[in-house]
Every structure is written in C-alpha cells, then in structure tokens.
Amino acid sequence: MKKTICIALLAFFASQTFAQRWNGGDETLFNRNHRGGFFVAPIVEFSDFENDMTTANGGGLAFVAGDLFFGAYGLGVTNYDNLINENFDRLEMGHGGFWLGYTVPQHRVVHAFTSVKAGWGAVNINFDGEPDYEDAFFAVTPEAGLEVNVFRWLRVAGAVGYRFMNGLDDSTTFNKDDLQTMTGSLTIRIGGFGRRHERYDD
C-alpha cells in the first residue's frame, strides 16, 4: 500500500512539473510565485523630535520568499544633540532586531510594500558634568510605502510609519512619548530578488 501511495504521489508531482512553464499566468491558491533571493539594504530613517528633524542611519539584511521578505535590521540616531535640554552634551538612541515585510506586485516597476521592524535598543544621554542617563526599550515600527525596481539587482523604497516604544521610563529632562513619533525612511536594496515563476497549463 505504501509503495502504491508513493508511486501515485510521484506521478502527481511529475504531471504538475511538466504542466508548468514560465509565463505571466495567474497565481492560484496552491500554485504561487516561487520567487527567492536576498538583499542588503542601507537605511536612512527620519523622524520628528520636539519639532526638529532627526536622522537615524543603519541597514538591514533580508531573504526573499515569494512576496515576503524576512531578516534583521539595525538603526542608530545621529543628531539628537541639544533638542530637549541645553544641558545635554548628546542624546543617542539605537535599536535593532527583526524585519518582516510583504511586497506586491513586485514584478511591476513601481509597487507597494509594507513591513514591520521590531527590536531592542537603548537611549543614552550625556550630561554636562553629571552622570549619564541610560535606559533600555523595545520598539515596533510598522510602515508602508512604494518601491521602485531600478535594475534587477537594485531597488529603492520610501515609506512612512510610526515608532511605538515600550519599557522606557520618563526622565527628568524628557518625556518618553517624545521618542514615539511618525517616521519616514529611504531604503536602497541591493541583491538578487529572483524571478517570477508562475503556473501555465498545457
């Protein structure tokens, strides 16, 4: 019986293989795009902080599986200087963790995508003549935007989102809610994104 079942399954998969060709056919629930690849991505993130624009620089690495991508990211704020209290020498913030996204229809030159960055980080404030303040937090940043296929190996994406933070205590010099804000990001994705393989019935 087991042998018969194995032969039947092999015959089924073989028939499916010979019935499929590369073309622009419709995707179905059980015959989906088998695109695969990976990319590395420099990321620049902009956010509003006390009515002043701040910039975070970093990057990410992700693997492409169909219309999904998943990987990791890291971001560090570079210019929070003297934005809340003139006694600050510098306020630094960095976070990193998981990056999950969905892109469709990515074979188009311009297409939509959405993603979520979720990771751990810390805030550090250097005071003038006083001990440093430091606290840890967990951040979740959902975002949505548009991506442009420049070359097969290069994509440029812009998005807007919102950074939620948990675990950060209020300081005597700033409110933790000041760090939760709208964000905008520019991402350059470099890598191999695979090709669209779809179903065609002879």
pLDDT in tens, 50-109: 666 788 899 999 999 988 999 999 999 865 554 555 556 677 889 999 999 999 888 889
Contact 80, 56 (CB under 8 A): no
Over residues 6-35, mean pLDDT:
45
CATH architecture type of domain 2-192: Beta Barrel (2.40)
Reading the block at residue 127, the tokens are 């005071």
Q: Is the pLDDT of residue 27 over 90?
A: no
Q: Is the pLDDT of residue 21 over 80?
A: no
Provide the residue type at 34 as one letter.
H
pLDDT at residue 134 in the model:
82
What percent of the chain stands above pLDDT 90?
Answer: 42
pLDDT tier at 44 (50, 70, 90 boundaries)?
A: very high
Q: Read off the pTM.
A: 0.74
pLDDT at residue 179 in the model:
81
pLDDT at residue 198 in the model:
53
**Mean pLDDT estimate for the chain:** 77
Angle at 129 between CA 178 and CA 91, to 5 degrees: 25
Q: What is the DSSP letter of 34?
A: -
pLDDT at residue 2 in the model:
43
pLDDT at residue 77 in the model:
81
Q: Is the pLDDT of residue 196 over 70?
A: no
Q: Report the candidate in 119, 150, 121 with the shortest Cα–Cα distance to residue 134.
A: 121
Over residues 10-18, mean pLDDT:
41
- Token pair 């001990």 in the structure block, residue: 131
Contact 42, 59 (CB under 8 A): yes
Range of weakest confidence among 12-21, 24-33, 46-55, 81-90:
12-21
